[in-house]
């Protein structure tokens, strides 16, 4: 597996990842995204997207959602998705660790934050293993499978700023 920066030619593989309802159900997106929407989501000048490539195919991505707000430049949001065929094979962890490396050592970020569905225990456990902690709960925050569910707010503070 190789981790590298997103290229325009990766759009088709990202589209395939987001074509699975098991992926979109754990994001803020709705099912059946088209290629144009997927391309717009990640090919944005204020986003820093890395992809995991295996056998010449993108099998996951992680995006640091940077901001141009002067007082928030030390923070970034996080979005991640992994192809269902590669779940449980270390792709998500590798992407998270490289994003943390980029944030700490190259992008001068102090805070990484994300929202995760409360019922996504596998993701919560992964985030905790790489240093994120739960900061709070957004009650009835999102609509999923016909009902409102809670979201967990999680963040990782760079260790030299704890």
pLDDT along the chain (162 residues), means of 10: 94 92 87 81 84 96 93 96 95 98 96 97 97 98 94 97 85
* CATH code at position 146: 3.40.630.30
**Which runs of E-coded beta strand occur in the chain?**
2-5, 47-54, 57-65, 75-82, 111-117, 133-144, 147-157
Range of the domain at 59: 2-161
Q: What's the CA angle centered on 92, arms 86 and 94, to 5 degrees? A: 110
The SS3 call for residue 137 is strand
Contact 133, 114 (CB under 8 A): no
Scored b (16 or more CB within 10 A) or e, 95-107 reads bbbebbebbbeee
How many separate domains does the chain show? 1
pLDDT at 162: 78
Beta bridge partners of 82: 60
In whole angstroms, give the CA distance from residue 125 to residue 99. 17
Helix axes 35-42, 11-18, angle to 10 degrees: 110
């Amino acid at each position: 597996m190789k981790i590298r920066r997103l290229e325009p030619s990766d759009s088709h593989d990202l589209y395939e990842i987001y074509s699975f309802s098991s992926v979109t159900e754990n994001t803020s997106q709705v099912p059946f995204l088209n290629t144009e929407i997927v391309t717009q989501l990640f090919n944005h000048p204020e986003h820093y997207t890395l992809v995991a490539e295996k056998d010449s195919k993108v099998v996951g991505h992680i995006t640091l959602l940077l901001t141009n707000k002067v007082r928030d430049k030390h923070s970034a949001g996080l979005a991640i998705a992994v192809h269902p065929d590669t779940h449980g094979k270390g792709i998500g962890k590798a992407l998270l660790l490289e994003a943390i490396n980029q944030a700490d050592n190259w992008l001068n970020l102090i805070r990484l934050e994300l929202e995760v569905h409360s019922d996504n225990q596998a993701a919560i456990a992964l985030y905790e293993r790489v240093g994120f902690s739960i900061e709070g709960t957004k009650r009835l925050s999102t609509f999923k499978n016909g009902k409102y569910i809670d979201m967990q707010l999680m963040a990782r503070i760079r260790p030299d700023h704890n």
